[in-house]
Amino acid sequence: MSASWNKRIYNPPALPVELWQKIIEIATYIPGILEPEVWKLADRPSDYVIRDQQKELRASLVTKRYLVRVSKHWFAMATPYLYEAILIGRQRTLLSLCEHFQHFKAGDQISHNESRHLGWYTKRLDFAARDTGDFYPDRLAEAIRYLPNLSIFNLTPRRENGNGATFTCVARALAETCGPRLRLLNLSMEDPGVMRDEWQQLLSSAPNLLALHRPDVLVKPPVHASASYLAKLKSLITPSTGYYEMTNLPPEHTHTSPFPNLQHVEIPSITNYNGPYGGDNQITVLRIYVPGAAWYWAEIERYFANIHRLVLFLEHWEDFPETFTVPLSVTHLSLSCRRMQGRASTFERLFGIFAAMHTNSANLRSVSLVSGRIRQYLRSRHPKTLALGMESIKECSFVLEDDEGRPFA
């Protein structure tokens, strides 16, 4: 006979509901998952940060699903955390979500003292489906209409929509359901098929938007047409082309920034850049991709005179310019390289550039290498190069740090 017949059923301790809710919150917590200003979380491309968050969210959702299935009492306690952040990775997940929202309609109780529908708890929605179809924009819009408190929306499908379906209904659902609540709008699609007037309607409904990540969709409508609605905007990621349509710009925006509170900008290139910022902007954080071409750092000081944090995204360590000059206003320089590994000669060159920066970077206080476990990699694979490199920069005004802000020494 199986010994399982004699096992006792485990009953959790009789703790106050508030304490159990706190335990559930801590057990499923993901740092930064509800932070709209993604650039504050790490000196890496924002799409990388969001992708890592989605991996953590996927793992957390498994735990949350187990919690709500323990009992009716636990269902009531854990449901707000289960639906706080929703990740849609497949079409069938979206269909199931819509059916679930329909089943628990507004007014259905999940506990004896609450009568809120499930979507009321949702603050973040990520659509990262690998498959696409003619129906899913409508279904996505249907799901959004159950989410009145949505503040973070990430539309990051793994492949482009090949059937020509547009996201007009999604933009309209966002505007009509949760516009004033929106803090982050991230639409990583090449062409969502939304007309200029529909973008205007969406942005005008979101006066509290703090971060706008629209790599390609902002190329068509002139940027000044949206600026008047986005007075609180702090973070902007520009189109992948690096250019905005600045034609017919009103005279008042010719020399001033149309986004008065903008602090962070992520752009693909500074070469021949034509951005919507003006010469007197207050941008303090610039994140920029480094191509293997000549760099014109005078352009940075021209467009971004007030930056104090400069983040460079590299493909290879060799892409870091040999004659790099840090703009005078910069106090923190961060290098994020997609391919972390390299030869000893590669890192010898890198430390040589750092040492040369000592003569023209008096205001620089820290240099960060934020490519994964770079410090451990250098210690294990190139210890001699690391030791000589640290010796060469010991007289510099800045401290060399890893991705967690810890000094290399």
Encode pLDDT of 222-263 as tens digits: 455 667 788 899 998 876 544 444 333 344 444 456 778 888
Question: What percent of the chain has a predicted confidence (pLDDT) above 90?
Answer: 31
Residue 96 resides in a domain: no
Task: List, as one string, the DSSP characters of 125-177.
Answer: EEE--S---TTHHHHHHHHHTT-TT--EEEE--SS--TT----HHHHHHHHHH
Give the C-alpha separation, 105 to 119, whole Å.
9
pLDDT tier at 278 (50, 70, 90 boundaries)? very low
Backbone angles phi, psi at 61, to 5 degrees: -65, -30
Q: Which of 57-61, 79-83, 275-279, 302-306 has the lowest mean pLDDT?
A: 275-279
Alpha-carbon distance values, 364 to 326, 328, 333 (Å): 8, 8, 8
Residue 398 resides in a domain: yes
Backbone angles phi, psi at 332, to 5 degrees: -135, 125
Q: What is the pLDDT of residue 159?
A: 62
Instruction: Identify which has the larger pLDDT, 400 or 280.
Output: 400
Range of the domain at 349: 262-408
What sign has the CA pseudo-torsion 71, 100, 51, 266? negative
Residue 158 resides in a domain: no
CATH classification at residue 358:
3.40.50
Element (H, E) at 69: none
Q: What is the pLDDT of residue 294?
A: 45
Q: Which of 20-29, 102-111, 280-289, 347-356 has the lowest mean pLDDT?
A: 102-111
Backbone angles phi, psi at 288, to 5 degrees: -145, 145
Rounded mean pLDDT of 70-95?
Answer: 86
Backbone angles phi, psi at 190, to 5 degrees: -65, -45
SS3 84: coil
Whether the Cβ atoms of residue 39 and residue 288 lie closer than 8 Å to each other: no
Maximal C-alpha separation, the chain:
87
Residue 180 resides in a domain: no
Residue 291 resides in a domain: yes
Q: What is the pLDDT of residue 250?
A: 43
Candidates 115, 85, 120, 84; CA nearest to 101 is: 120
Residue 227 resides in a domain: no
Question: Could you tell me which residues are beta bridge partners of residue 197?
Answer: none
Residue 4 resides in a domain: no
Residue 369 resides in a domain: yes
Domain count, the chain: 1
